[in-house]
């Protein structure tokens, strides 16, 4: 929302509306569904995550919500519980700490930590992957994306706890998020060639 005196007050302005295709052309909007979450399932080879992603009606975040709320049936998951699960899932991907997660979910730090622990208990392959990524980064000084792009993180072996923790978060984030960026760029190029 921006203030525009010419429009007499506050108006909603969409930046997308500023882009207009040339006559005879259209804009194409395409997206991957839950790409980073799918990559985490791929890299971890977690059986439960892979199984739900293979189902036509599978809802990854509904599954995670059921898990972190004591294994309730997926059909009993509320929209709020699903949203919490989504935040938790991406918090793990981005290396968010329990304090930040508790603020995001509007729960206590203890509850946020319990959500994290429950998720990792139900999905040990994910926890194994997170530890493996950090260990590999410590040994080599870098992590690689799905396409082999490297990100060097010299602070991974820092004696400063804060710097080291930041590098660990960047390592985990890079593996999934940068791999997602790689796939998106490949897809954009492929779409251009497919449409010609």
Residues with catalytic roles: 31
Task: Tell me the backbone φ, ψ of residue 152, rounded to 5 degrees.
Answer: -85, 135
Collect all residues with Cβ–Cβ distance below 8 Å to 156 and sequence separation of at least 6. Answer: 134, 137, 138, 141, 164, 167, 168, 171
Q: Residue 106 is encoded by which pair of tokens? A: 């509007």
Q: Where are the beta strands (DSSP E) in the chain?
A: 2-3, 10-11, 142-144, 150-152
Rounded CA separation 138/178 (Å): 19
Q: Are 105 and 115 in contact (CB under 8 A)?
A: yes
Cα pseudo-dihedral 79, 80, 82, 88, rounded to 10:
160
| Tokens, residue 13 | 């302005």
- Computed from CA positions of residues 100, 104, 110, 116, in that sequence, does the dihedral angle turn out positive or negative? negative
């Amino acid at each position: 929302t921006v203030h525009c005196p010419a429009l007499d007050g506050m108006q909603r302005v969409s930046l997308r509306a500023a882009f207009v295709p040339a006559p005879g052309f259209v804009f194409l909007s395409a997206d991957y569904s839950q790409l980073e979450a799918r990559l985490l399932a791929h890299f971890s080879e977690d059986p439960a995550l892979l199984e739900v992603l293979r189902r036509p009606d599978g809802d990854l975040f509904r599954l995670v919500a059921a898990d972190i709320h004591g294994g309730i049936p997926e059909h009993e998951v509320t929209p709020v519980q699903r949203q919490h699960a989504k935040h938790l899932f991406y918090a793990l991907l981005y290396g968010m700490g329990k304090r930040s997660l508790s603020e995001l979910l509007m729960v206590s730090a203890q509850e946020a930590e319990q959500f994290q622990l429950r998720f990792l208990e139900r999905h040990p392959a994910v926890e194994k992957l997170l530890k493996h990524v950090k260990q590999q980064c410590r040994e080599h000084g870098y992590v690689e994306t799905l396409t082999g792009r490297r990100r060097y993180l010299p602070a991974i072996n820092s004696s400063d706890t804060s710097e080291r923790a930041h590098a660990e978060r960047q390592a985990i984030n890079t593996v999934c998020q940068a791999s997602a960026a790689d796939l998106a760029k490949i897809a954009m190029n492929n779409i251009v060639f497919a449409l010609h």
